[in-house]
Amino acid sequence: MRRVNPGIKTLLLAGSLLALILIIACGGAATAPAPESDSSAAPSGAAAGAQPAATAAPSGSSAQAQPAATAAPAQPAAPSGRPTEAANPTPTVEPVEVQAPETDWVHQGKHGRTMKWVARNNPGFWDVHYGASLTTTLTPSGPRFNQLVEYNPVNPEEIIGDLAESWDVSEDGTVYTFYLADARWTDGQPVTASDIVYSLDRITLPDAFRGRTNSLRDFYEHKTAEVIDDRTVRVPIKFPAATFMVNLASDYMKMYPEHVAGPLTQEDVNCCPENMIGSGPFIFKDGSWQKQEAYEYVRNDDYFKAPRPYFDGFKVFLIQDVARAIATLKVGQADGTYYPVLATYTEFVEQLEHDTDGRMRALFMENVQRAGLNYNWLVEPYDDPRVRTALWLVIDQEELVEKILRGNGTVGTHFHVGFAPNESVEALYELPGYRRDADGSKSQADLDEAKRLLAEAGYPDGFSGTITTILTGCTATSAQWVSQVWKNELNLEMEIESSDVATLYSKWRSNDYEVIISCGSGIILPDPSDILNQWYGMDTMRNSGNWTTTEFDRLKVAQAKELDPDKREQLFTEMVDLLRAEVPHFMPTGWIHAGGTLDYRVRNYHVPRTIQMIHKLDHMWWDENAEKPPIGTGYQP
């Protein structure tokens, strides 16, 4: 085993990967005593095969967190909803030698104030391993837990230690040894290696449903982690793959206390937030969850990353109606949205910034959610790929983006926009489903082909069915719009069945639906393997019917093992061709932006690359004397 100095820092940047994974950066010196420092570096888990250069920093050097990262300005959507080219989301890793032992911002934070946030959706499942939603699982439940490693909250391009203060990796890249910080659960019991092994095995429990943590099964074999001592755990993985660390740093990969979670049933953990505790910066306030109204957290005064957290606590008000939420923010009854999730329509938060004379600042995240048609491919008539193709072909994606999303998105691709060459801007509009006629209208050839396919499948006069959707927001309006398009073009009579998010997810998970129109399924990681995990993993909510093919399975495994970025990109290109030919259970109709808002006095929030990252709140604080930026410049960290 080769130990890598803490002076090596792992950065997640767009670009090419190094060829081999021989050394993975360590998270910091194993003896580092200062829990408040985020200076520890971490190995990247970027797209399959990231690796630091083989030169380590001098022995004894320390890694300093990068200066507070300012989010790059979002690229505007191309006219008429056409996608903008994305930088290759496959990260690379670069060693950085620095000497400063601590992170400056830790001691700049100001303590005090119980924050008030606005959120849209009622909590549905409190088990972060099980749940499949940012707004109904992660943000309600996540702040009380830690991961082994995490994305740096002030520089979201890198992975740093969380419960693990350091780690090293075997020469062949298949064994990780993590050294734990001196942390405690909120009942006073120490966090031990046994808890880490328990959590990894709970996440990968055979046949258990795992909404957003299923990807760990790709790398870690259940029951193979080993306790070395109370603060050391050895974790073997199936093959050298940098995507292991990218996935392990996901906010959903929470570590649970074995002595509390072990005796609980799945329902015990899902139903009742009072049943669980964590080691995180905040403690759930027992009895505070009032369904459809609010829930509350208080500060963990014994948090191992002191002086964090800075807030005394926070209360989340559940307001589904966007207009009412905006009114609450406008009059100063809340300090911001519970992270940048208020509405798809980003003009709402732009206007809010003006209406409050710059007090509420607009937040933007571009192309961080996927929209599409989710078919129950196990039931008629959606078991016929000709039917699935016909229903997708008639959707005018540019009209959907412009009319329903109000321009806040781009047309749909199977993976990140522009990642695969056959989904580039130049290639896309030559394809069925995306083509335009000379006058700019939806291709008549596509409309005719859809009618032909439906007739060939035995439905020349259309059929009737049910669209399941959420009550509010762009999902409801998308469902109404799609149902009208299907009626006009294919003579379909679709009933719209509306529900809240938690109920819809229950129906989705149990295959109790025909078609679900989704508008806003969030991406977890800035790598296309995340789409494979969420939409094409087995026994996941977004693939509850377990759609796959033998060749698609082969390509999924191959991309996870491939260390050459060009070859990996080619594998995704082959996957796109296969998905177009086979017509899976999900067909994309758009990539969607997200908008939110924070009071300018909320400091140190740095917009990450996806909507699902960095949700513990332990790095943010309130500064009553902060300087208000000029109106129109958005939130400034």
Q: Provide the CATH number for the domain around residue 578.
A: 3.10.105.10
| Exposure class string for 561-596: b at 16+ Cβ within 10 A, else e | ebbebeebbbbbbbbbebbbeebbbbbbbbbbbbbb
How high is the pLDDT of residue 396? 97
Whether residue 42 has pLDDT greater than 60: no
The Cα–Cα gap between 500 and 346 comes to: 22
Mean of the pLDDT values across residues 288-315?
A: 97
Residue 294 sits in a domain whose CATH number is: 3.40.190.10
The Cα–Cα gap between 410 and 72 comes to: 19
Whether residue 29 has pLDDT greater than 70: no
Nearest to 565 by CA among 156, 20, 10, 8: 20
Q: Is 452 helix (H, G, I), strand (E, B) or coil?
A: helix
In a domain, residue 559? The reply is: yes
Q: Are residues 550 and 608 in the same domain?
A: no
Q: Are residues 346 and 425 in the same domain?
A: no
The Cα–Cα gap between 561 and 231 comes to: 30
Residue type, 532: L
Q: Are residues 494 and 386 in the same domain?
A: yes
The Cα–Cα gap between 247 and 214 comes to: 10
Nearest-5° angle of CA 465, CA 131, CA 375? 20
How high is the pLDDT of residue 76? 34
If phi > 0 it is left, if psi is from -120 to 50 it is alpha, else beta; for residue 632 that is: left
Percent of the chain with pLDDT strictly greater than 90: 64
Q: Are residues 586 and 604 in the same domain?
A: no
Q: Contact, 482 vs 517, CB < 8 A? A: yes
How high is the pLDDT of residue 609? 86
Kindly indicate the confidence band of residue 340, based on its pLDDT and cuts at 50, 70 and 90. low
Whether residue 36 has pLDDT greater than 80: no
Peptide bond before residue 307 is cis, with ω within 30 degrees of 0? yes
In a domain, residue 629? The reply is: no
The Cα–Cα gap between 447 and 449 comes to: 5
Q: Are residues 348 and 441 in the same domain?
A: no
In a domain, residue 168? The reply is: no
Mean of the pLDDT values across residues 1-8?
A: 30
How high is the pLDDT of residue 268? 97
Q: Contact, 210 vs 130, CB < 8 A? A: yes
Q: Is 380 helix (H, G, I), strand (E, B) or coil?
A: coil
Q: Are residues 463 and 507 in the same domain?
A: yes
Least confident of 170-179, 228-237, 471-480: 471-480
Kindly indicate the confidence band of residue 209, based on its pLDDT and cuts at 50, 70 and 90. confident
Q: Are residues 448 and 570 in the same domain?
A: yes
* DSSP 8-state class, residue 70: P
Q: What is the mean pLDDT of the chain?
A: 84
Summarize pLDDT for 303-327 with one digit per residue, the tens: 999 999 999 999 999 998 888 999 9
In a domain, residue 470? The reply is: yes
In a domain, residue 610? The reply is: yes
Structure-block tokens of residue 423: 């989904």
In a domain, residue 430? The reply is: yes
What string of DSSP letters covers 460-529?
A: TT--EEEEEEESSHHHHHHHHHHHHHHHHHH--EEEEEEE-HHHHHHHHHTT--SEEEEEEEE--SSSTH
Whether residue 8 has pLDDT greater than 70: no
N-to-C CA span, the chain: 40
Residue type, 99: Q
Nearest-5° angle of CA 76, CA 566, CA 537? 75
Q: Are residues 335 and 472 in the same domain?
A: no
Structure-block tokens of residue 602: 């909320």
How high is the pLDDT of residue 87? 46
Which is higher by pLDDT, 29 or 129?
129
Nearest to 168 by CA among 179, 159, 157: 179
Report for 87-101, 342-356, 460-474: range of highest mean pLDDT: 460-474
Nearest to 500 by CA among 291, 187, 340: 291
Least confident of 201-215, 339-353, 587-601, 616-630: 339-353
In a domain, residue 310? The reply is: yes
How high is the pLDDT of residue 81? 64
Mean of the pLDDT values across residues 588-614?
A: 92
Alpha carbon of residue 249 to chain centroid: 11
Mean of the pLDDT values across residues 163-183?
A: 96
Mean of the pLDDT values across residues 4-31?
A: 31
Whether residue 232 has pLDDT greater than 60: yes
Whether residue 144 has pLDDT greater than 80: yes
Q: Are residues 467 and 435 in the same domain?
A: yes
How high is the pLDDT of residue 73? 32
How high is the pLDDT of residue 342? 58
Of all helices (H) and strands (E), which one includes residue 119?
A: strand 114-119
Summarize pLDDT for 462-521 with one digit per residue, the tens: 999 999 998 777 888 899 999 999 999 999 999 999 888 778 888 998 999 999 998 878
The parent domain of residue 294 ranges over 284-365+596-622
Least confident of 56-70, 476-490, 614-628: 56-70
- Burial-class residue 87 by CB neighbours within 10 Å (0-12, 13-18, 19+): middle
Structure-block tokens of residue 396: 């005018």
With a CB cutoff of 8 Å and minimum separation 6, the contacts of 617 are: 143, 281, 282, 309, 311, 314
Residue type, 317: F
Least confident of 205-209, 459-463, 546-550: 205-209
- Burial-class residue 1 by CB neighbours within 10 Å (0-12, 13-18, 19+): exposed
Nearest to 280 by CA among 435, 189, 144, 417: 144
Q: Using only the alpha carbons of the chain, give its radius of gyration.
A: 24
Q: Are residues 320 and 373 in the same domain?
A: no
Sign of CA dihedral 400, 402, 403, 407: positive
Summarize pLDDT for 416-470 with one digit per residue, the tens: 888 899 998 788 999 999 999 999 999 999 999 999 999 999 999 999 999 999 8
Q: Are residues 539 and 431 in the same domain?
A: yes
How high is the pLDDT of residue 446? 97
Least confident of 99-108, 534-543, 586-595: 99-108
**What is the pTM assigned to this prediction?**
0.81
Task: Report the number of distinct structural domains present in the chain.
Answer: 2
Q: Are residues 526 and 617 in the same domain?
A: no
Q: Is 166 helix (H, G, I), strand (E, B) or coil?
A: strand
Structure-block tokens of residue 125: 């499942």
The Cα–Cα gap between 381 and 62 comes to: 61
Please name the residue that has the structure tokens 């996927």: 370
In a domain, residue 376? The reply is: yes
Summarize pLDDT for 380-410 with one digit per residue, the tens: 999 999 999 999 999 999 999 998 888 889 9
Structure-block tokens of residue 359: 């007090």
